A = this chain, B = another copy of it.
Amino acid sequence: MLPIDRLRERFLSGETRALAQSISLVEDSAREAARFMRPLGAPMTLPRIVGVTGPPGAGKSTLTARLALALLEKGEKVALLLIDPSSPFSGGAILGDRIRMHDLTGRPDVFIRSLSSRGSLGGLSAAAIRVLRLLEYCDFSTIILETVGTGQAETDVVEAVDTVVVVTVPGLGDDIQAMKAGIMEIADIFVVNKADREGAERTARQIGAMLGLQEGKQRLPVPVVQTVATTGQGISELLQALDRHSADLTISMELKGRREKRWQKEFDAYVTSLLVDDFLAWAQGSNAEVAPHGRHGAADIYGLAEQLVAKYYAERTKRDAEEN
A residues sitting closer than 8 Å to B (CB atoms) are 33-34, 37-38, 41-43, 55-57, 59, 61, 84-90, 92-96, 117, 119, 121-122, 124, 148-156, 159, 172-175, 177-186, 217, 259-260, 263-264, 266-272, 274-276, 278-279, 290-293, 295-306, 308-309, 313-314, 316-317, 320-321, 324
Question: Beyond the given A88-B185, A260-B291, A266-B292, could you list 13 further A-B residue pairs with CB under 8 A, ordered by the A residue number?
Answer: A34-B305, A43-B298, A55-B150, A57-B175, A87-B181, A94-B177, A152-B153, A153-B153, A263-B293, A267-B290, A267-B304, A313-B316, A321-B321
In contact, A302 and B38 (Cβ under 8 angstroms): yes
Q: Which of A93, A150, A153, A316 has the largest number of chain B CB atoms within 10 A?
A: A153
Closest Cβ–Cβ distance, residue A309 to chain B (whole Å): 5
Nearest B residue (CB) for A33: B302
Can you show 21 pairs from A to B with CB atoms below 8 A apart? Answer: A41-B299, A55-B56, A55-B57, A56-B172, A56-B175, A85-B155, A85-B182, A92-B185, A95-B177, A96-B178, A117-B155, A148-B182, A149-B150, A151-B154, A263-B292, A270-B302, A271-B276, A272-B272, A274-B306, A275-B279, A313-B320
- Contact between A263 and B41 (Cβ–Cβ < 8 Å)? no
* Contact yes or no, B96 A305, CB < 8 A: no
- Secondary structure of the A contact surface, majority rule: helix
Selected contact of A181 from candidates B41, B92, B275, B316, CB within 8 Å:
B92
Number of copies: 2
Residues in chain B near residue A296, CB distance under 8 A: 42
**Is there an interface contact between A180 and B55, defined as CB atoms closer than 8 Å?**
no
Contact (Cβ within 8 A) B42 A266? no
Most B CB contacts (10 A, CB to CB) among A94, A267, A301, A306 go to: A301
Complex: how many Å from CA A47 to CA B15? Answer: 56
A155 and B317 contacting across the interface, CB-CB below 8 Å: no
Q: In whole angstroms, how far apart are the Cα atoms of A87 and B213 in the complex?
A: 15
